[in-house]
Amino acid sequence: MSTPGGDIGPPPPSGFNLSTIGPDPDGATPLEEEDLVGLIPAFVATRGDLNIVEFDNITKALPWALDRARVGGAEAVLEYSFLFELHRRMFGDVWKWAGTQRRRVTNIGVEPAQIVTVTKQALDDAVWWHRQDVFDVDERAARIHGRLVAVHPFPNGNGRCTRLLADLYLTAVGHPIFTWGAGGRLNEEGDVRRRYVEALRAADGDDYRPLVAFARA
């Protein structure tokens, strides 16, 4: 796994900056100038360009992730090192900081100094739920996502990474993956994202019913 604090390369292309990518969706972690320094593709100039290259990278990572879930089983996908490797593979062609821990305070998430401890606790709890058959399977998967996205361990891409982790857990135990709002675009403003954010806020209060209902829409 990559480690934070290293050389993240030259500044981003001049055509890509905070003004060209437009506003972030409600509830998303805003990209900062320091994040943009880690951009890899030189042609990215707009939010649309960024969405395309990130989607392609995530698609490329899926076969590896699904194979790990099917072969390694539930506890393999709930390992701390797997979470960071998953993020690296999902975004490593786009961002040099992919798979590294968040180092700045963001609008969502724990203090950076708490990330390791709280992330490991969330994953350890998930392993215990799995072993002891606590909650039904859908709620376990929703709790995995809700707990980890609340930690926000990465500079960006936390929602996408932890939603995929929840789906990989479902795959590992032989259950259908979530629909996450029946195919709506969660990275864009609209009714689907609004319901998703409302469900996450309910989960912050330990009411996971809206998140399970949304995810299994």
Q: 3-class SS at 95?
A: strand
Q: Are 126 and 92 in contact (CB under 8 A)?
A: no
Quickly list H helices, 73-174. 74-77, 80-91, 115-132, 137-151, 158-172
Please name the residues in contact with 24: beta carbons below 8 A apart, sequence gap of 6 or more: 30, 31
The DSSP bridge partners found for residue 95 are 39
Q: Which of 175, 162, 180 is nearest to 78 (CA)?
A: 162
Residues in the chain: 217
Q: Of residues 87, 145, 152, 175, which has the active-site annotation?
A: 152
Q: Report the largest interatomic distance among the alpha carbons of the chain, rounded to a whole angstrom.
A: 53
Q: Quick check: is 130 catalytic? A: no
**Phi then psi dihedrals of residue 95, to 5 deg:** -125, 135
Residue 14 to residue 189: CA distance in whole angstroms: 27
Q: Six-digit token pair at 98?
A: 């992919």
Residues recognised as catalytic: 152
